[in-house]
Amino acid sequence: MLLKQLKLTNFRQFIGEQTVEFAINEEKNVTVIMGENGSGKTTLAQAFTWCLFGDTDFEDKVVFNRSFERKMLPNQEAVVRVELSLVHNGIDYTIIREQLHKKDSQGRLKGNNTTISIAYKRNGQQEFVKYLEVDPLLKQILPKELSRYFFFDGERIGNMSKEIKKGKSQDFAKAVRGLLGLNAFISALEHLKPTSKYGVIGSYNDSYDSKSDQRISQYTTEIEKAQEEVDRIDLRLDEINNEIEKAQEQADKINALLLTMAETEKLQQDKMKLVNSMGKTRQARSSAMGSILKQFNSNYSTYFAKSLVLRTLEELSQASKLDKGIPDMHARTIEFLIKRATCVCGAKIEFGNDAYKELNKALEYLPPQSIGMSINQFVVESELKIKSSNNLFESITDQYKAIRDYESELEQCTADIQLIEKQIGDTKRIGHLQQDLSRYEKIKRDRINELKEINQRKGSLQTTRDRFISERAELTLRDEKNKKIEIYKAYAQFMYDELNKVYKKNEDETRQKLERYVNEIFRSIYQGGMSITVDERYNIQVLVEDENGYSDDVETSTAQSISVIFAFISGIIKMARENGSQQDGENKLLDSEPYPLVMDAPLSAFDRRRIKSVCDALPKIAEQVIIFIKDTDGELAEEYMGAMVGKRYLFSKKNEFETYLIPR
Amino acid sequence: MLFQKEYSFRGTHADKVNRLTSQFDSDASFKLFSRNIDVYVLAPIIGFLYGRKSPQDRKGSDTTTKIFTDQLIREETIMKYNYQLILLLDKKHEPSFDERINKAFRYYGNNSPETLTDEELYDQYVLGGIELLYEKLIENATNTEDYLNNLYDFIEEFNERYNETISDEKILDLCALARS
């Protein structure tokens, strides 16, 4: 299958009709479609999936262009259409998927179911594939199981690499085998399969002549019944194994979680310690604050007045008002002495004499006329204040510093607690986890028991079946006609066994070759001591080889995962291409088609060096490469793939609902 | 006469006094000033030192907050002392030293027109001081930490500006000198 053209009509943001042609030339097989984030790369990649399978990975399942929707009138109809033109098996096909949308009278948009049709050219005439043949043809062109690997989304790589590593269904293995050209073998084997009712051997079984003995047909029925049940059991065994594996996986996950929970408990204790110490620190901070305020309130009056006191005292001490008063003497004392007419020294006091004059002069310096005593009082008060005061600033500074320390301690504690909480995560889930764990353990036990049971049942059914087969064989030998059939059957069985042998050998070789190719390609992209193995179901394992040759399955990083998937897909494509180009001839046992590789943002997880190796490798491996890419990676890709690029497009985004594809 | 009868803060000054004496921390009931009278005692000193006078606000809000007479009388000594400090040092108000001494000691509480002017001056320092304390301690504070930082910054600034070079010994020496 090679892609020629994609035509979109009103598909999501691609308004109107827009067409992309893909480079198909052998020399120039690369198409680069470049656009910034959100411009529509993923949408375009999804258009392929929608066209082929009618589904997208978008949350919003409406594919109709929103801008166009707005312009529609009530009761108006319009169609979303994607047309994909491709060449498959030398025939040009056009796959058309349409979805009719109608606006109802309330203006709500309703979409019908999508319809698909495939057109092809025969004798220059366009014809449509019959309805019932559409699905089988699509499966032949590209099996859905594999489509995601060919329409490759670099941003959803995580799940893909997990899928590819384990739990792949039979369908996947079948699809891979088909791509690898083993289909012819598989149908031949299916045709001859001895256990199938509808195969060659089955039809012989049906043609036994039971006239000679009723028991022959009875045995045949019994054998078929037993075989049917064995087949059912085989299917169930597959399921059970899958279920056990899944339950084990879940249990492992929970156990790992519970292990971290044990660490959580310790963290919880650490957290409590921190919370307690925070409480104490807060208390200490609070009491330091209280103490600062208390000191402020009891010392402010002296502290803030101190400079004033100093200045006042300086002025007062320079003045001469203070030293003239007689201590503890009052004006009343003088008045008493004058009235008594005798001084304390014994001198006579008479009106107008010297003593009288002297005493009256002293009155000026004595209370109440004198203020000397008031001043003295003031000075004494100052002295008392200063003596009883402490230095407010010094004493609160220490406490203030302590508070700052407490605060940074609190901050540290808060940060530590946050860190711990982050580590702890959601501890409330622990109860659920225990429940879940026992549920998964129970599922595992139950399934293992069932496994034992049905294996036993299978064994007994097989014994019964084989017994009937040999008894029937004995009976048939008695009749000539039936004897002949028995001989034909033996031939058919022999052919089946031989063919199976060749197939097994071929498949083995094919698988080993695939493994070799995958490893070669992987090493060219991703350096490092890793190798990939492919098992019978085409599941992949990545092994690390250490120096002692010891190897182990490993968790891979994103870049590794992408490289693995690249390598796997490229390996398949390379083999398919080789098979397709082999000369026709007797020895041509394998036959398959070349395939394109369509990749959305495949390089974003890689560094420059890897981008270069990927760009070197891909166009050589795949027949056709189509890359959707953001501008910076795109420039690199174009630089490295240069000569191989045949077509270039650019997304031009007008707004959220209108993007145009422009050839460059 | 000052300090003998009930005192009322009015308008914006009353609002500011309320803020200065209200709880700022929900957990520990912290207040910057315990009582209105504490603001009344400190404000004139601050007003005088920072040169900030303010008239009574009669236009602003109609909030009032009071200091009762008995409380004033109990604290009279300290308020009288502060009054004397300011009147002794306010050279703008009265250039003559002798007259300042008279105002501080001789005329204190004599109800003469001059004394009433002095008392008016003192009151303006009280109100100016309230404004300044409000600006320094309350404005821009939103949480406990802010209040505490403001208080510390204010005391630190004050220390640098006025108290750093003063030692208690020096004051006590001066007291001794003044008494001799």
The helix (H) or strand (E) run that includes residue A209 is none
pLDDT score at A168: 54
CB contact under 8 A, A378 and B81: yes
pLDDT score at A165: 60
Tens digit of pLDDT for each residue in A323-334? 456 667 777 888
Average pLDDT of chain B is 90
A91 with A220, same domain: the answer is no
Tens digit of pLDDT for each residue in A124-140? 788 888 888 888 888 88
Is residue A382 situated within a structural domain? no
User: Both tokens of residue A153?
Assistant: 């989304």
pLDDT score at A587: 47
Q: Could you say which DSSP state residue A348 is in?
A: B
User: Both tokens of residue A222?
Assistant: 């019994």
Instruction: Give the SS3 label for residue A137.
Output: helix
Among the partner-chain residues B45, B151, B179, the one whose CB lies closest to the CB of A304 is: B45
Q: Mean pLDDT over residues A249-274, rounded?
A: 83
Determine what percent of chain B is predicted with pLDDT higher than 70.
98
Among the partner-chain residues B28, B33, B82, the one whose CB lies closest to the CB of A297 is: B33
A29 with A127, same domain: the answer is yes
Segment 388-427 of chain A within 8 Å of chain B by CB? 389, 392-393, 396-397, 400, 403, 407
CB contact under 8 A, B171 and A289: no
CATH number at residue A627: 3.40.50.300
A60 with A136, same domain: the answer is yes
Report whether A524 contacts A617 (CB < 8 A): yes
Segment 136-175 of chain B within 8 Å of chain A by CB? 144-145, 148, 151-152, 155-156, 158-159, 162-163, 166, 168, 170-172, 174-175
CA–CA gap between residue A511 and residue A529 (Å, rounded): 22
Single out the residue in A499, A522, A548 at which a domain terminates.
A499
Q: Mean pLDDT over residues A250-267, rounded?
A: 81
A80 with A132, same domain: the answer is yes
A9 with A136, same domain: the answer is yes
How many of the other CB atoms lie within 10 Å of CB of A603?
Answer: 23
Instruction: Give the SS3 label for residue A99.
Output: strand
CB contact under 8 A, A400 and B178: no
pLDDT score at B121: 95
A92 with A15, same domain: the answer is yes
Report whether A254 contacts A437 (CB < 8 A): yes
Among the partner-chain residues B82, B101, B174, the one whose CB lies closest to the CB of A313 is: B174
Inter-axis angle of helices B36-49 and B11-20, nearest 10:
110
Q: Could you say which DSSP state residue A76 is in?
A: -
Segment 257-286 of chain A within 8 Å of chain B by CB? 286
Is residue A230 situated within a structural domain? yes
Q: Does B41 touch chain A (CB under 8 A)?
A: yes
Residue with the bigger pLDDT between A427 and A440: it is A440
Enclosing domain of residue A478? 186-275+426-499
Q: Does A307 touch chain B (CB under 8 A)?
A: yes
Is residue A51 situated within a structural domain? yes
Residue A195: pLDDT band with limits 50, 70, 90? confident
Q: Which of A286, A291, A298, A308 to mutate to test the interface with B (most CBs of B within 10 A)?
A: A308
Q: Which of A304, A315, A323 to mutate to test the interface with B (most CBs of B within 10 A)?
A: A304
Q: Does B109 touch chain A (CB under 8 A)?
A: no
Residue A549 pLDDT greater than 60, yes or no: no
Nearest chain B Cα distance for residue A436, angstroms:
45
Is residue A98 situated within a structural domain? yes
Tens digit of pLDDT for each residue in B17-76? 999 998 887 777 788 999 999 999 999 999 999 999 999 887 767 888 999 999 999 999
How many of the other CB atoms lie within 10 Å of CB of A550?
Answer: 9
Q: Mean pLDDT over residues A487-503, rounded?
A: 87
Instruction: Say how many domains are in chain A.
Output: 2
Residue B90 pLDDT greater than 90, yes or no: yes
A108 with A215, same domain: the answer is no
Instruction: Give the SS3 label for residue A119.
Output: strand
A210 with A271, same domain: the answer is yes
Q: Could you say which DSSP state residue A155 is in?
A: G
Q: A13-27, A251-265, A373-387: which range is least confident on average?
A: A251-265
Residue A656 pLDDT greater than 90, yes or no: no
Is residue A17 situated within a structural domain? yes
A216 with A121, same domain: the answer is no
Among the partner-chain residues B32, B46, B105, the one whose CB lies closest to the CB of A371 is: B105
Single out the residue in A439, A467, A499 at which a domain terminates.
A499
Q: Which amino acid is at A538?
A: Y
A20 with A123, same domain: the answer is yes
Q: Does B82 touch chain A (CB under 8 A)?
A: yes
Kindly report the pTM of this predicted structure.
0.49
Q: Mean pLDDT over residues A504-511, rounded?
A: 86
Q: Which residue on chain B is closest to A392 by alpha carbon?
A: B155
A197 with A134, same domain: the answer is no
Q: A166-170, A458-462, B51-55: which range is least confident on average?
A: A166-170
CA–CA gap between residue A167 and residue A145 (Å, rounded): 13
Tens digit of pLDDT for each residue in A29-49? 889 888 887 777 778 888 888
Q: Mean pLDDT over residues A249-254, rounded?
A: 85
Is residue A525 situated within a structural domain? no
3-state secondary structure chain B: CCCCCCEEEEHHHHHHHHHHCCECCCCCCCECCCCHHHHHHHHHHHHHHCCCCCCCCCCCCCCEEEECHHHHHHCHHHHHHHHHHHHHHCCCCCCCHHHHHHHHHHCCCCCCHHHHHHHHHHHHHHHHHHHHHHHHHCCCCCCHHHHHHHHHHHHHHHHHHHHCCCCHHHHHHHHHHHHC
Is residue A340 situated within a structural domain? no
- Within 8 A of B42 by CB-CB distance, chain A residues are 300-301, 304
pLDDT score at A586: 43
Sign of CA dihedral A600, A601, A607, A611: positive
Residue A553 pLDDT greater than 70, yes or no: no
pLDDT score at A552: 55
Inter-axis angle of helices A214-318 and A430-476, nearest 10:
170
Single out the residue in A473, A499, A525 at which a domain terminates.
A499
Cβ contacts of A31 within 8 Å, gap of 6 or more: A20, A22, A23, A624, A625, A626, A627, A645, A646, A647, A648, A649
How many of the other CB atoms lie within 10 Å of CB of A255?
Answer: 12
Among the partner-chain residues A300, A313, A378, the one whose CB lies closest to the CB of B171 is: A313
Q: B76-105 as b/e, with b when 16 or more CB fall inside 10 Å?
A: eebbbbbbbbbbbbbeeebeeeeebbbbbb
CA–CA gap between residue A120 and residue A131 (Å, rounded): 13
CB contact under 8 A, B30 and A304: no
Taking one residue from A and the other from B, the number of pairs with CB-CB distance under 8 angstroms is 130
Which value does ipTM take for this structure? 0.94
pLDDT score at A171: 64
User: Both tokens of residue A566?
Assistant: 């690249």
Is residue A164 situated within a structural domain? no
Segment 312-351 of chain A within 8 Å of chain B by CB? 312-317, 319, 321-323
